[in-house]
Structure 1
Amino acid sequence: MALPTLRFHRPVVTTARPLRAVIAAGVLVALGWSGVIYAANNSVQGAKKEEAGFDGDAPTAILTEASSGGVLFEKNADELRAPSSMMKLMTAEVVFHAVKQGDIKLTDEYRVSENAWRKGGAPAGGSTMFAALNSKISVDDLLHGAIIQSGNDACMVMAEAIAGNERAFAEMMTKRAREIGLSRSTFANSNGLPDPGNKMTVRELATLARYIIQTYPEFYKLFGEKEFTWNKIRQFNRNPLLNSLEGADGLKTGYTKEGGYGMVGSAVQNGVRLIVATNGLEDSEDRATEAKKMLEWGFRNFEVRTVFAANQTIGYAKVFGGDSRSVALSSHEPVNVMVQKNGNDKLIARIVYSGPVRAPFEAGQKVGTVKVWRGSNVAVETPVYATEAVGRGSTIRRAVDGATELAIGLFRAGAEKL
């Protein structure tokens, strides 16, 4: 397919504050398969968040493309709910991170306390890896038990060993969630057993799944293993997608009376990975059917298209105090977007940066991001960089730029008072 023909408009200032302005650069992209139109003064916030062509039954659901993080479908995706055992993804991430940082080793062995055995093991009657009281189990085996068998005891053993107690580990989970961009999730234990402090949205569950897939490929393989035997008890992976959908390789199911049935799943077909997250369904069959139906709909109706090639000029940023008035911006990687195969998508592209960009700076400096919306959803967000170095301008140029920014700031301040 030929690359799109591009015509660029001058940057449009949407908020004028001296040296701190948030500037949106408009880009009009004419494509043979669909139109990409930028409207600088239009906001997509608050728009109806439904995608035509899919009728989902889950109270909360989201379908995303893993490479870009773009949303293909969402329904009440920001509603906080009890995540149940899907929360074990966050427990696993904390342990993965600790191993990667060298704080713990997969060969380290942790003792099964009476608390973990009684409240999370066989006596509790919930999902368990059947860890024996006072036995020692390696981190590697505990991860297998937590991910494949959804063992509450496995999570508690790791939490107690790493943080001293489960409550302290839950605090680590919440802190770590903030570090990787989950701004709303909160955790009160390590396994998702009922507690008012356990809250996540399906959007953040999908974001967490994407982070695990991209950051820990060596560990992600655990989610696709179909069975695990411990204490001579063979158990099968609870993810129904592994046996019912081509390319499915993760991630986690969950259920509590408070949260209902939910799951986070992922599959790859034709080189494209999709991630689904649902919650609040009434039974396990609905959970499996809904997740599979959503993934199949995504694979059937969407394909990847390149909007901007790598290192192609996308737009321009205004420069302050430089020997050039503006600088071209590009992405280091191709900007790819999942679009509907029927070609009816309308895409909106916007470059957002804080500026004007103060000179001097080198080529390759990150300036902002290019965001591409498909309808009301952000389909992709990618950093943009200066394509060339800009040196310090003359004294006169810096003085003129300073006076201009001051005048804009005073004008804005006066307008805000009216």
Structure 2
Amino acid sequence: MLKKIFAGFLLCAAGNAVFAQTLTPTLAPQPTIIPSAPQLAATGYLLIDADTGHVIVEHNADERLPPASLTKMMSSYIVSQEIERGRVGEQDMVNISVKAWRMGGSKMFIREGTQVSVHDLLLGVIVQSGNDATVALAEHISGSEEAFVDVMNQKAALMGMTQTHFENSTGWPAEGHLTTARDLAILAKSVINDHPDHYALYKEKYFVWNDIRQPNRNLLLFRDETVDGLKTGHTDEAGFCLVASAKRGDMRLISVVMGTRSEEARAAESQKLLTYGFRYFETRALYKSGDVINNTRVWGGEANNVNYGVSQDIKLTLPRGKQDDLQADLVINSVIKAPLEVGQAIGTLTITLEDQVLTEVPVVALEPVERAGFFARVIDNIKLFFRNLFS
């Protein structure tokens, strides 16, 4: 049996407190006007809140498309992973093979028969989009590019990139080398969150190697100081592509734009998405993991009450000005008996906005409650019997 504890609560982000107030304003609130999402000149695109995963804008986000050098985000992710696991050192020297040296397309301009550090090659991949640097790292880590690509596909599957398949480490055109805007957003989020130290490399504007100074091809790094990554791509088949991320205040957005007509177009279309997201939406932290929401009766326990809360931070992406329209419905089990463990679910918290469920999470015990002695349990059982009898 369940009992509803409260409904129609006004959630206040200040201090992550929750105030029990009925939403009965004396004056009708002014409606927040959210314009339609921008329509981009691109084959597929997506805009998400990096913290919540909320999709703000999407178009053909699940269409499988060639990613070109956006592929290198996965290559650099695996290199960063190997460094953090201690299997590769950033100052390890990498032997440059003939295959790496001969790679066409974007190049770092490394030379066959020389040695280059892992760190410098990683900059060559991220900043200069060097196909030569990417192949050199793939061979160093896995012995061959083919073996490295197997790792890339395995990692994509583990990340939930269900529509992605890689044929090489660089994004060089190949039949079956495909992904989606949605999968690329998953990858970008992982790059940002899993390897924050190496993510800082994505905002580097220039890198010099072999006396050649090359700029980062992400034009937004030069136009918008809040943009700090990620990666560009281009082939005749893929068009001009860009995965970008920016942070303003407490909100980080990730945009994916695929199949535009030019370098300028991919930057301009990405900027449209980011501007729209930041202007009309916001990320709100409503509850923190471990914060006490309230307490409830425990039967047959050494303690008569237990504090409860949520086991994970609750953040939501909301249209600006809509926070006061949120409603929280908390339902707690009507009979809670000891023993209780920390984190044990005892109810649910549902947050809605204009009758749309935004999230539903378990409410958990924040402290353990041991079983009481025999006679105390008997007394509680008698009390519970009569409570149920007359309820």
Scaled to the shorter chain, the TM-score interval is 0.7 to 0.9
In 2, Cα distance between equivalents of 1:62 and 1:376: 25
Q: CA deviation at 1:371?
A: 8.2
Instruction: Determine the C-alpha separation between the residues in 2 that align with 1:64 and 1:225.
Output: 23
Q: Which runs of 5+ in 1 are unaligned?
A: 1-8, 12-25, 34-50, 317-321, 352-356, 394-418
Q: Give yes or no for the alignment of 1:240 onto 2:219.
A: yes
Residue number among 199, 202, 225 corresponding to 2:204 in the alignment = 225
State how 1:186-225 maps to structure 2 within 5 Å: 186-225=165-204
* C-alpha separation in 2, matches of 1:79 and 1:315: 46
CA 1:291/1:386 → structure 2, altered by over 3 Å: closer, same or farther? Answer: same
Larger gyration radius, structure 1 or structure 2: 2
Residue-by-residue CA offset, 1:139-166 (whole Å, 9 max, x unaligned): 0010000000000000001111211211
1:176 to 137, 149, 155: 155
Asked if the contact 1:70–1:377 (Cα under 8 Å) also holds between the matched residues in 2, the reply is: no
AA aligned opposite 1:97: Q
Q: Give TM-score, length-normalised by structure 2.
A: 0.75
Q: How many residues align?
A: 345
2:98 pairs with one of 99, 102, 114: 114
Q: For residues 252 and 110 of structure 1, what CA distance do their matches in structure 2 show?
A: 23
- For 2:156 and 2:356, locate their aligned partners in 1 and report how far apart those are by CA, in whole Å: 23
Deviation digits for residues 274-328 of structure 1, max 9, x if unmatched?
1111112222222111101110111111123343354457899xxxxx99xxx98
User: Given the alignment, which residue of 53, 59, 68 partners 2:36?
Assistant: 53
Summarize the Cα distance change of 1:112–1:180 in structure 2 as closer, same or farther, 3 Å threshold.
same
Q: 1:183 to 1:371 in 2, by over 3 A?
A: farther
Counterparts in 2 of 1:348 and 1:93: CA distance versus 1, 3 Å: farther
Inter-CA distance 163–32: structure 2 relative to 1 (3 Å threshold): closer
- Match for 1:192: what amino acid? G
CA–CA distance in 2 between the matches of 1:345 and 1:202?
33
> Does the 8 Å contact 2:10/2:325 carry over to 1?
no
C-alpha distance 382-163 of structure 1, shift in aligned 2 (>3 A): farther
1:71 aligns with 2:50: no
Q: What SS does the aligned partner of 2:170 have?
A: coil
Matched with 1:167 is 146
Asked if 1:99 corresponds to 2:78, the answer is no
- Please state how far the C-alpha of 1:338 moved relative to its aligned partner: 2.1
Deviations 1:330-381 (A, max 9, x none): 3245412121114399879899xxxxx9996621358999787879999778
Q: Is the 8 A contact 2:38 2:276 kept in 1?
A: no
* Residue aligning to 2:240: 261
Q: Contact 1:86/1:264 (CA < 8 Å) preserved in 2?
A: yes
The amino acid across from 1:205 in the alignment is L
Please give the secondary structure, in 1, of the residue aligned with 2:109.
coil
Distance in 1 (CA, whole Å) between partners of 2:309 and 2:220 is 39
Distance 1:148 1:313, change over 3 A: same
Distance 2:267 2:362 in 1: 36
Displacement of 1:211: 1.4
1:146 aligns to 2:136 (yes or no)? no
Q: Normalization by structure 1: what TM-score?
A: 0.70
Kept after mapping to 2: 8 A contact 1:345/1:375: no
User: Using a 3 Å threshold, how does the CA distance of structure 1 residues 142 and 279 change in structure 2: closer, same or farther?
Assistant: same
Q: CA deviation at 1:67?
A: 2.1
CA contact (8 A) 1:71 1:378 kept: no
Within 5 Å, give how 1:12-31 maps onto structure 2: 29-31=8-10
**Backbone CA RMSD of aligned residues:** 3.9
Q: Distance in 1 between matches of 2:179 and 2:79?
A: 19
The alignment status of 1:305 with 2:284, answered yes or no, reads: yes
| Structure 1 counterpart of 2:382 | none
Gaps of 5+ in 2: 13-33, 296-300, 331-335, 373-391
For residues 224 and 214 of structure 1, the distance between their equivalents in structure 2, rounded to whole angstroms, comes to: 15
Code of the aligned partner of 1:72: I
